Amino acid sequence: MYDDNNSHEGYPRDNHRVGRIEVICGSMFSGKTEELLRRLRRAQFAKQQVEIFKPSIDTRYSPEEVVSHDKNTILSTPVEHSSNILLLSSGAEVVGIDEAQFFDGGLVEVCVQLADQGARVIVAGLDMDFKRNPFGPIPGLCAVADDVTKVHAICVECGRLANYSHRLVDNDKQVMLGETEEYRPLCRKCFLRALSKKQP
């Protein structure tokens, strides 16, 4: 089980803050947003100034809140382009970004700049799309991150740890904002079996 206490608890709160980038990635139903919220709440509790952003494309539940599937909510700002984050987060000690896979590629440079300016940047997103391809800016973010946490769902077929978000409906578009019933978390073995059933 991942424990971030050792690496983050000593985060300094002086005027010479050293920034960092943390990435939380995994499949759907892996608890990415819950882990992001846990870290952000802890920072808020410590009276650190926290700003939270999400892409305006992700309006599944609410335009102004980061909402995880268990309805744990926290207020966030929807933005259209990654450059908006730089403009809107001046003075923030901690910057949270949810659903980062939907952002443009400029997000990588934005996170580096924020960290260089002393911010703790915490980014959550899907590591792979439904075809197992690396998703949007997430691989680049993993490369520049100080710390990467890969979280897992549980395979609904066999109970192993699941890496993949299997899409149930026939739609080839990479971005399809799905409700939970359109995806199932599967392990490698069950994902390959599902794939072979799909092909004629």
CB 144 within 8 A of CB 112: yes
- Is residue 192 a contact residue for Zn ion (CB under 5 A)? no
Between 69 and 193, whose beta carbon lies closer to Zn ion? 193
- Is residue 187 a contact residue for Zn ion (CB under 5 A)? yes
CB 93 within 8 A of CB 43: yes
Between 126 and 155, whose beta carbon lies closer to Zn ion? 155
Catalytic member of 99, 157, 179, 181: 99
Residue bearing tokens 């080839």: 172
Distance between CA atoms of 144 and 133, rounded to whole angstroms?
19
Between 138 and 162, whose beta carbon lies closer to Zn ion? 162
CB of 157 to Zn ion, least distance (A): 4
Structure tokens given for 32: 């990415």
Residues 149-178 that bind Zn ion (CB under 5 A): 155, 157-158, 160
Give the binding-site size for Zn ion (rule: CB under 5 A).
6
Between 46 and 158, whose beta carbon lies closer to Zn ion? 158
Q: Is 99 a catalytic residue?
A: yes
Q: What are residue 117's phi and psi, to 5 degrees?
A: -80, 0
Quick one: 173 exposed, middle or buried, by C-beta within 10 A (0-12, 13-18, 19+)?
exposed
- Is residue 190 a contact residue for Zn ion (CB under 5 A)? yes
Listed in sequence order, the residues at least 6 apart from 118 whose beta carbon sits closer than 8 Å to its beta carbon are 16, 17, 18, 19, 93
Distance between CA atoms of 142 and 22, rounded to whole angstroms?
8
CB of 148 to Zn ion, least distance (A): 24
Binding mask 109-148 for Zn ion (x = CB under 5 A): ----------------------------------------
Contacts with Zn ion by CB under 5 A lie at: 155, 157-158, 160, 187, 190
* Catalytic (active-site) positions: 99
